[in-house]
Copies of this chain bind each other. A is one copy, B any other.
Amino acid sequence: MIFEDIKNPFILSSGPSGNFQELSKIIDLNEMGAITTKTITPEPKEGNPVPRIVNIENGFINSIGLQNPGIDEFVEKELPEIEKYKTKKIISIAGYSPEDFQMMIKKIDDFNIDAYELNFSCPNVNKGGATITQNFDLYKKCIKISKESTEKPIIIKLGYSDRILKLVEIAINEDVKNFTLINTLKGMRFDLETGKPLLKRGIGGVSGSVIKPFALAMVYTVKQNYPEASIIGNGGIFDSDDVLEFKYAGADYFGIGTAVMMDPELPISLKNEWEEKYVL
């Protein structure tokens, strides 16, 4: 298990809830099992041009493009606030090279944080993110160096992939057994009038209820083949039935992404619903 002493298995996933400044005014984040920061990169990133969002039925396509202030401003301005939450704090990081990961971990490892999530699955950037998994050797080195740079747990975040087992195997060979499954899938829609993609960048990442069957398949595949894997199930979790399905698939923790944007109070109400139904 990733965490020995987590309050509950509900985790805010990386991105939709930003770095919690807004959400913490609406709900008490200390009631969550863990919270994950928006992915941080070595340099600041402006993100992609607008429109960055298209709604689809039961889902959402985004091309935010990892907008973030970069590691230095993050450490200076945001991390001190994040440290204060009394819950597990997972820092999501992405880089282009093993050295990028190493450098970022070094800068934050002494803060009051609990784990790293290596984002190898953002579909909305041309370099880094999901592109790293195209190169098994690079992917492996990024994991290896990250593992060597910290005593804290490392979590590998992957997307829907036809090589999911290979990617998991490489991580497990580096003694990293924690996975977040899954990130968004590449998707797009067109404007019927102009013939242009509705997102400025063309392709974005699909999240929300529509991706649940794919996420369940990835979680199940990994857990069936690697029972020792500790898995944060992520993709379309909105209610306790969704949570139950992810549990049956083999998830140990439950990530809440898009649902937080739909209803910022949902993480707490879902956690309560779950505890009333299945825990208490």
Contacts and interface: CB of A to CB of B under 8 A. Distances in A.
A159 B161 CA distance: 11
Chain A, interface SS category: mixed
Contacts of A160: 160, 185-186
Interface of A: 56-59, 61, 130, 133-134, 159-163, 166, 185-190, 192, 195-197, 202-203, 206, 210, 212-214, 216-218, 220-221, 224, 241, 244-245, 248-249
Contact of A217 (B58, B188, B210, B249): B188
A210 B162 CA distance: 19
Nearest to A191: B248
Nearest to A193: B244
18 contacts: A56-B213, A57-B58, A162-B162, A187-B213, A187-B214, A187-B217, A188-B213, A189-B212, A189-B213, A189-B216, A189-B245, A192-B245, A195-B248, A197-B220, A197-B248, A203-B220, A206-B213, A206-B214
A196 B195 CA distance: 43
B130 A162 contact: yes
Given A162-B133, A248-B195, A186 B214 contact: yes
